[in-house]
Chain A
Amino acid sequence: MAERGMGLDIAELEMMAKRCRRNIVRMVYGIGAGHPGGSLSAIDMLTGLYGHRLRVDTNDSTWGNRDRFIMSKGHASPGVYSILHERGFLTESDLWTYRKLGGSCQGHVDMKWCPGVDFSAGSLGMGLSFGIGCALAATLDDSDRTAWVMLGDGELQEGQIWEGVMAAVHHEIGNLNVIVDRNGIQNDDFCESQMRMFDVAEKFAAFGWAVMEIDGHDMQQVVNAIDWADQVIDGPACIVMHTIKGKGVSYMENNPKFHGAAPNEEQFNLAMEELS
């Protein structure tokens, strides 16, 4: 029987997130491609989830009663791989297979290639529905396992998301928790210029979800929000975390260019200095 999280305190979680940030930049620089911005905005929550909350078994990644984590914004795969390394599912050398032929770290997270990954993502808008299926199955099994889904804010433009938002409330799915990474940037530019999102928390609340807004880079707030979501059992819970795309690397922060681009050598060295 696996335990929840890794028994780490806030300072230890913050150290782990910093190590992840370094590996995210290394992976993307190493292959000269990938998505650093959304990985860096999400990594504090990913650290909170794996370090503080998720009950998984690193010796048996397919253990049926594990909590499920569904990374719907599957392009932020370096973030997932870096935390799976910290959690013990991937070795450091596995990380350097990112985007390489035959590698376990495919361009977008893939359950068929990577131990510890619960969902094959890559096409936005699908992860919430998958999480609903996992949560419904847990209820049928009378299990206390929980489904956690991370969505991007640009991803909310997909219609399927709102199909799932309705279904989760209709079925009163209390063992489903969603995190929206509200970093304000999507592929082409700022979300505001592509499709205005207005108040995301208000939207989820209007559909009947319990909603909490946090600073997604404040580890104490991250941990508190995870604990709060766990307490919401009569329906789905949504954490809207306000984040900075590219957080931790000065020239990537809030810069649409680093949604899907790798740093050059000079930029890489600067990032390593900043994250030391």
Chain B
Amino acid sequence: MSAPSGGGASRDGYGAALLEMVGDDRVVVLEADLGKSTKSCMFRAEKPSHTVSLGIAEQNMMLVAAGMSTSGYIPFASTFAIFSERGFEQVRNGIARPNIVVHLCGSHGGIHTGTDGSSAQSIEDLAIYRTLPNMTVMHPCDDISAKALTLALRHHERPSYMRTARNKVSRAYTEESAAQLRIGKGHIHRTGDDVAIIACGVLLNEALDAAESLSQQGIEATVVDMHTIKPLDTELIVDLAKRCGAIVTAEDHSIIGGLGGAVAECIVSEYPVPVERIGVQDRFGESGGSDELLEMLHMKANDISKAAQRAISRR
């Protein structure tokens, strides 16, 4: 099964979802001078009364959102993934600790962000937010799934962090398939019994391409979009470990602490099988094209295929 044609950036899906929520007066949108980039500008254009500009001041934005939430509103606050990290302790103490429902979106995450260079390429956001009790952490792969998951957040009764990406990628979802998405449940895109590739974000496409090439070599892979890193769909992961006996994770994030770390923790505790992690190997990125960077950092489909073969050989 190949990915449906066309392309979309997950940040566009976030903006489209906000726009779809303009009819709900409880929804408020908070910006830190990056509305045009995160796509919260789409909501602002329709409903400025419920959009709060807070300037280049992320720490303040986190707690303003918390205050609005405790007064009955559903805040969606966004900035770049990397700048959200400046307010990490505010998220920790001001949002997650009192379990205040604020939905934080960090766009332009990962090295896929490209030419802006390493200062803009957050490769640790999923890891750090995952450590916080009460937090839900997500990283959808395309615009259609990002829209569906953002819409689902309106009824989600916990604080969340969602990373979106800057660049368009091939769509892995249609409106119909995205309608099946549930926060906390991995979505199976392809089924095979030899190896399981668990991916998120822009690497889902690479994972699907890897599965095609493995199939040509007689290796059948299951490919899962693990759009929710926390709470992790451990039931599915254990099932995949039992069925396939070898797992590869793929993410545009450090191999430390993100999807790969979360899956490895689950596997070690529940059902040990070989796990190979594709991601950024404990280094920072640099300026370059998205594909150039994926290639240089060994995060392309062929790298995932090789990792699958390594995992199978270790079985």
Contact = CB atoms under 8 A, between A and B. Distances in A.
Given A110-B98, A112-B99, A137-B72, A130 B67 contact: yes
B62 A140 contact: no
Contacts of B63: 126-130, 132-133, 160, 164
Contacts of A159: 59
A126 B75 CA distance: 17
Contact of B64 (A136, A140, A141, A166): A136
B62 to A, nearest CB: 7
A132 B64 contact: yes
B59 A118 contact: no
Nearest to B57: A163
Given A112-B99, A163-B59, A170-B55, A137 B94 contact: no
B52 A171 contact: yes
Nearest to B102: A133
Contacts of B72: 64, 137, 141
B94 A167 contact: no
B98 A134 contact: no
Given A126-B94, A160-B90, A136 B59 contact: no
A122 interface: yes
Instruction: Tell me the interface secondary structure of chain B in the complex.
Output: helix
B70 A166 contact: no
A129 B70 contact: no
Contacts of A171: 52
B189 interface: no
A197 to B, nearest CB: 20
Contacts of A138: 71
Nearest to B63: A129
Interface residues of A, number: 34
B101 interface: no
Interface string A114-130: 00001010110111111
B67 A129 contact: yes
Instruction: Tell me the interface secondary structure of chain A in the complex.
Output: helix
A107 interface: no
Given A123-B89, A167-B57, A129 B62 contact: yes
Given A64-B72, A171-B52, A134 B57 contact: no
Tell me which of B49, B64, B99 has the highest count of chain A C-beta atoms within 10 A of its own C-beta: B64
Interface string A160-187: 1001101100110000000000000000
A179 B73 CA distance: 26
Contact of B93 (A126, A131, A137, A167): A126
Given A112-B98, A120-B97, A140-B73, A131 B67 contact: yes
B93 A133 contact: no
A272 interface: no
Given A112-B98, A123-B89, A137 B59 contact: no
A132 B94 CA distance: 14
A233 interface: no
B51 to A, nearest CB: 11
A138 B64 CA distance: 13
Interface string B14-55: 000000000001001000000000000000000001101111
B68 A133 contact: yes
B54 A167 contact: yes
Interface in B68-91: 68-73, 75, 89-90
A147 B60 CA distance: 16
A163 B60 contact: yes
B105 interface: no
Contacts of B94: 120, 123, 126, 129-130
A111 interface: yes
Contacts of A147: 67
B246 interface: no
Complex A-B, nearest 3 residue pairs according to Cβ-Cβ distance, in ascending order? A133-B67, A129-B63, A137-B71
